[in-house]
Amino acid sequence: MDVYSRLSLDDAFDYSTLKTALLKRFDLTADGFRKRFKTGRPEQGETFIQYISRARINLDRWLELGTAERTFEGIVDFLLRDQLLNTCGHELYVFLKEKAFVKVHDSSGRLLRRSQRRYEVCDAKGR
């Protein structure tokens, strides 16, 4: 209800806008599922089969919302992009996010080469 009441009247009646706001509020976004997948641990009383099933759901949703191609190369590229974004310096992170950095092995390769000259690739804290 809090999310709904904070939207403008037009946005509150726009299904797409309301859905996006609710998903962000409850962390049901690509980043939220990424966090769940990477930090998930078996819960008390949960079998390994149940844990793996839950982890798989989080991975599937992360890949889907993160728009990863469902091929081996697409998933590898998606994971490499995630790794780069989580280890690069803050300025490079912001630059790549603003440029809609989608793939490591396409035209973004040029983007990465140019940005490497302009920004520190990694810092001691990872970001």
In three-state form (DSSP H/G/I as H, E/B as E, the rest C), the secondary structure along 28-57 is CCHHHHHHHHHHCCCCCCCCHHHHHHHHHH
CATH class of the domain at 27-118: mainly alpha
High-pLDDT (> 90) share of the chain, %: 28
Q: Model-level pTM?
A: 0.67
The set of residues, in sequence order, having a beta carbon less than 8 Å from that of 76 and lying 6+ positions away, is: none
Give per-residue pLDDT as tens, 96-109. Answer: 777 767 676 665 56
Q: Where are the domains of the chain?
A: 27-118
Give per-residue pLDDT as tens, 65-124. Answer: 888 888 998 898 889 888 888 888 788 778 777 776 767 666 556 666 666 666 655 544
Cβ atoms of 3 and 21 closer than 8 Å? yes
